[in-house]
Amino acid sequence: MTDRRGRGVDVGDLPGARRLVLVGVGVLFWGWLLARWLHDWVLAPDVNTSDREPFVPPARLEAVAEQLHDLAAGAGAAAGLLEWLAGGVEFAAFGVDSMPALAAGAWITVYLTVLSILLGLMIAIPLAVARTYGGPVLRWIALSYTELIRGTPLLAQLFVLYFGLPTTRYIREFHGVGEGFVPYAAIWVAVIGFTINSSAYQAEYIRSALQSVDPGQLVAARSVGLSRLEGIRYVVLPQGLRYAIPGWTNELVYLVKYSSLAAFITVPELFRAARNIGSDTFRVLDIYLVAALFYLALVLTLSVAMSRFEAAVAIPGVGSASERD
């Protein structure tokens, strides 16, 4: 939980063929996931998560596995290979069977991440500005906040919010919580926890990005008559936030994975959905493998999307995207 540095391979930069394969897999994954969500909420909203049927009947795959087993029995030398293939098909059948539940979990993971990173950003920007341009008091407050949050484990923060403080009780008092599309209290606690936590990390990335903006920019803004705050808003932030995109992407990717900690405060996100299947079927290794593929797909998608975004907002001479050209 300490090391959030280091960037993975930038998928957007991969050469032709491999990229094509990844895009194909991506389209398949998202096509299926969106269809699943659409089906489960719009077309068949009254079916319990555990009763949802996969699009591809796993029975058919299981039948194929059976046949492979039978073949293997009389195949002599090739038996090993056939058994191995049968194992693969069985794994696929199991994976397919768990898809509806994982899709439901993935939905929570996605919006937990997206909501938290965006709300966190709204806190992180003022924090970073306070650290960089604030007076001693503001700087001290911002520093204390970031150090307190970054210096304590995220799981502990979630536990304090969920079990320690009366947060949940307050949230339940809001009208409509847990009804229809409004998530119930534990999810809100998770959003609050992740928002607070990621705001501290985002603030650090943004702060160092702001520091890479030439101080002469603010002087020039002041010299045409803009106030300090206006100069920060119109001149420093538009540049600094562009510089912050790579670091911010890191944080986003980490948040996808750390959102799994919400499982420990009962939120049925992707990891918890997998864990539940694991304890029902005792196929723990298999289900975590399938879940890992989900996380991988989410992370790769986000990092491709972010490098697209970075390129889309790039300005010659500002930010790392422009330096790469």
Binding residues for another protein (CB under 8 A): 214, 216-217, 219-227, 230, 234-235, 238-239, 242, 315-318, 322
For the CB of residue 240, give the shortest distance to another protein in the complex, in Å: 10
Q: How far is the CB of 216 from another protein (least distance, A)?
A: 4
Residue 182 or 219 with smaller CB distance to another protein: 219
Helix, strand, coil percentages, rounded to 5, for the chain: 80, 0, 20
Q: 10 Å Cβ neighbour count for 143? A: 16
212 vs 281 by CB, closer to another protein: 212
The rounded distance, in Å, linking the Cα atoms of 64 and 131 is: 62
CA distances from 145 to 149, 210, 249 (A): 6, 18, 22
Closer residue to another protein in complex, CB, 212/279: 212
- Four-residue CA torsion sign, 189, 190, 195, 201: positive
From the CB of 320, what's the least distance to another protein, in Å?
A: 14
Rounded least distance, CB 223 to another protein, Å: 4
Phi first, then psi: give them for residue 310, nearest 5 degrees: -60, -45
* Residues in contact with 168: Cβ distance below 8 Å, sequence separation at least 6, in sequence order: 162, 185, 186, 189
Compute the distance between CA of residue 111 and CA of residue 201 in angstroms, rounded to an integer. Answer: 19
Whether residue 242 contacts residue 315, with contact meaning beta carbons closer than 8 Å, is answered with yes
Any idea which residue has 């991969």 for tokens? 14
Could you tell me the smallest distance in angstroms from the CB atom of residue 304 to another protein? 24
- CA-nearest of 268, 254, 122 to 190 is 268
Check if the beta carbon of residue 195 is closer than 8 Å to that of residue 187: no
The residue among 247, 264, 121, 130 whose CA lies nearest residue 195 is 121
* Comparison of 106 and 235: residue with beta carbon closer to another protein: 235
Q: Cβ(309)–Cβ(245) under 8 Å?
A: yes
CB of 125 to another protein, least distance (A): 16
The CB-of-233 to another protein minimum distance in angstroms stands at 9
CB of 248 to another protein, least distance (A): 17
Distance (Å) of CA 309 to CA 299, 318, 324: 15, 14, 15
